Amino acid sequence: AVKKKNPAVLLPIFPLNFVFAYQYDVGYGTLLQRIKADAENIMDTESALLELPKGPLTYEDLEKIRSQSKFLIDK
């Protein structure tokens, strides 16, 4: 790239730097700890986001959905 003065040859290296940085963070960084901390923060402070709109599912609701489903075929 330097001899031919063509910077387009170096273009594929740019996105690969992000891939390398992510893999490095997974292997040697604190990615899993940050993900766990964020999940715990959401569970503690914004638990309303995790609730189902019509409340928790019951066994009767699941059976009703299963009986109406066209994709599940019992053999």
Residue 13 within any structural domain of the chain? yes
User: Number of structural domains, the chain?
Assistant: 1
Positions of the chain with pLDDT under 70:
1-2, 71-75
Q: Which residues of 1-14 are buried (b: 16+ CB within 10 A; e: fewer)?
A: eeeeeeeeeeeeee
Query: Does the predicted model carry a pTM greater than 0.85?
Result: no
Helices 31-45 and 13-28: crossing angle, nearest 10°?
70
Residue 1 within any structural domain of the chain? no
**Host domain of residue 26:** 7-74
Give the C-alpha separation, 7 to 59, whole Å: 62
Residue 37 within any structural domain of the chain? yes
Cα-based distances in Å from 4 to 1, 10, 12, 14, 69: 5, 12, 17, 19, 63
